[in-house]
Structures are given as C-alpha cells and as structure tokens.
Amino acid sequence: MTLAFIADFFRWINGPWMPDDAGGFSDNVDALNGFVMFVSYFFTVLIGGLMIFFAIKFRQKDKNEVAKGITHSTPLEIAWTLPPMLIVLVIFAVGFRGYMDMSTPPRAGNAYEIRAVANKWDWNFHYPNGAVTKKLFVPSDRPTKLTLESVDVLHSLFVPAMRAKKDVVPGRFNVMWFEPDPSVVSSDDPEKYEAAYPLHCTEYCGQGHSQMNTELVVVDGSQWEAKLEEINIWNPDRLPPAELGAIVYANNCASCHSVDGAANTGPTWKDLYGKQNYAMAVGETVAVVDDNYILNSIRQPNLQKAVGFEGANMSAYGEGVIKSGDVRALIEYMKTLSVHHPNGADLDAFPDDYEGDTAIDATGATSE
C-alpha cells in the first residue's frame, strides 16, 4: 500500500504534460519519470536556496575583512556523495527492471501477434487472417506482440500512450510488446468500442519522416473478431475505382508524389498518365505512361527512374501492401489528373464480386 501511494505520488509529480495513459508500461515509466522530476525539483530548490543563503550570510561586511581558511570536512564529503549515489542506484534498479519487462514478450500463444513493416514513409500492419492496415488495431483483453521489420532504412515505432518504443532495423527482426489497459474501452457502450492513440516513427528516416504518423486503435475484446473481419474486407464501401484510388494515394503515395505539379521526392502525378516520350534517367524514353508502366513503377520502382529523380529510392509495394485492385484504383485516379486522358476514369465501378486480389483491366475484366 505504501509503495503504491509513493508510485502514485511520483506519477502526480509529472503534471499534465505526459501523453495519454492507455496501459502498456506507463505505470513503471511514469513513476520513474516522476521520481527523476522530484529529485530535480528538490535539488534545484535546495542548491539554489543554499546559494542565496550563503551569499547573504557570508557577504563581505568590511572591505578589510580577511576570509578564513577552508578546511576539509569528511562528513560533508559523505553527505554530498552518498545520497546522489543511492539515488542513481535506485533509478538504475527501477529502470533496469522496466527495461527487462519491455524486452521480454509473453510466451507464444499468450499474445496476439502482428507483423509491422516500415518503409519510407508509412506503416503496414499484417494480421494472421491476411488483413493489412495502415492503422494498428489491437485487442484490449490480451497482450500484443509486434514483429518489426524495415524494407529500406532505419525507423522506430513509438506508441506514447503505451510508453513503448523499438527501433525498426533493415535486415533484421525486432520484437516489441505491450498490453492495453482494458478500461480505455467498454463493451457496454458502442461509442467506446474503440480508443485511438498516436503512433509515430521516432528515428529520422528521410524527407517524409515527419509525415510517418498513424494511430494505434485499441478494440474492445468482445468486438475483436468482428473488427478482424471488417479490416480484411477490401473496399468495404464499394467505392468507384477513381474515388478509392484517391484514398490509396493519400495513404501510400502522397508523401512523395504531388497531384498539383508541385515538386516533391518523386514525379508529380499531374498530367503524368498518357504522357508520351517520358524521359528516363538511363537515357531511354518510355513511349507512353500507361497501365503497365505504372504497375511496374509500383512493384519495381527503381528499374525505370524518371529524369531528375535519379537519387530517389522508392520502396517496392508488393501485393501484400497494395493489392491489384488498389493498383487499378490508382491508375483510374491518375487518369482524372491528366490532360492526356481527357475522358477521366475508364472504369466506373468494380464488378460486384471483385475482392481486389486479382489483376483487373480498364474494362473490368479480371485475370487469375
């Protein structure tokens, strides 16, 4: 009871500046941060007060006064050495315990496992049922274990509300875990089935680093299976191809490609589709920017770089990230942006039974 009261006191010391608390490792992190803040406040007041006191008490009263000699004091040496050492040892012990907790995920089967893939400059979260989302959805009634991987450069996944952070390193897998506080959602109120919190990349990864943000969504345990089915449905609102393409663009492409002619990391999409004799960095030209060129630029983007973008390296978007239906949607959207295709989108609607997994052309015909 006493330790709980002390921990609550130190968490109170933090004030209103800490991020939202949704569980995870917040108890340990917030209490330790509050302790460090308390020590800082205490010694700032103590040392500052002593400086003022000594400045007044020992001020020069007479210009002819000679200062007395200063002698060594062993008790004083111990007094200002031992307490700081003990404080540092406490910080180390509590911090090490918290670090070991963060670094030791639950045993297999005791946590819901999700694969988190980072690339410049977005996140893709892969679930065991095959769903892929830009936001991270996790159940409220069990721990979540993330297997982290990067397809290009160094990233770092940080969820402030969980006080959880881990580097995402190319060429290796890292693991992180956390367990939400079930009280942040409610099974009794449909408006509280879900609770959303910021998720950031906190390792500088290039020009679009500041845009590499998304959300962690905690889902009430009673609604988890329904949510899994929902996020695994492709184009659930049955949007027209061009309209869906605008959403896919915003989620995946907007950080590098503009649609208004503005300069960016990659070529602008304004007036790109249908452009003839498109110059490549290797000295060749593409006769016309058509469906095949766009598909290849998504799946193998660094094989044919446009002039002026030789130094830009785009991550490849495979079928597991952008489905064939999404590619068709992007193409139809690009048509609406180009003067070279004045009729706009050719495909007005996807077939009723189409689920986005197979290639589809501008007539609506699919191929296995």
DSSP states of 325-351? HHHHHHHHHHHTT-TTSTT--S--S--
Radius of gyration of the chain (CA): 29
Using an 8 Å Cβ cutoff, are 273 and 335 in contact? yes
Q: For the chain, what is the domain count? A: 3
pLDDT of residue 178: 93
Whether residues 117 and 171 fall in one domain: yes
The parts of the chain modelled with pLDDT lower than 70 are 1, 3, 69, 367-368
CATH of residue 151's domain is 2.60.40.420
Whether residues 361 and 246 fall in one domain: yes
Whether residues 201 and 142 fall in one domain: yes
pLDDT of residue 121: 83
pLDDT of residue 196: 92
Whether residues 258 and 342 fall in one domain: yes
pLDDT of residue 278: 85
Residue 296's domain comprises 241-367
Whether residues 200 and 275 fall in one domain: no
CA atoms 32, 37, 41, 46: torsion sign: positive
Whether residues 136 and 181 fall in one domain: yes
- Confidence (pTM): 0.75
pLDDT of residue 368: 56
Whether residue 60 lies inside any domain: the answer is no
Whether residue 58 lies inside any domain: the answer is no
pLDDT of residue 1: 56
Whether residues 118 and 91 fall in one domain: no
Q: Which of 202, 231, 260 is the last residue of a domain?
A: 231
Whether residues 43 and 116 fall in one domain: no
Single-letter code of the amino acid located at 249: Y
CATH of residue 272's domain is 1.10.760.10
pLDDT of residue 74: 84
Q: Which of 231, 249, 268 is the last residue of a domain?
A: 231
Whether residues 216 and 255 fall in one domain: no
Give the angle 33-166-37 at the CA atoms, nearest 5°. 10
Residue with tokens 């952070």, as numbered in its chain: 165
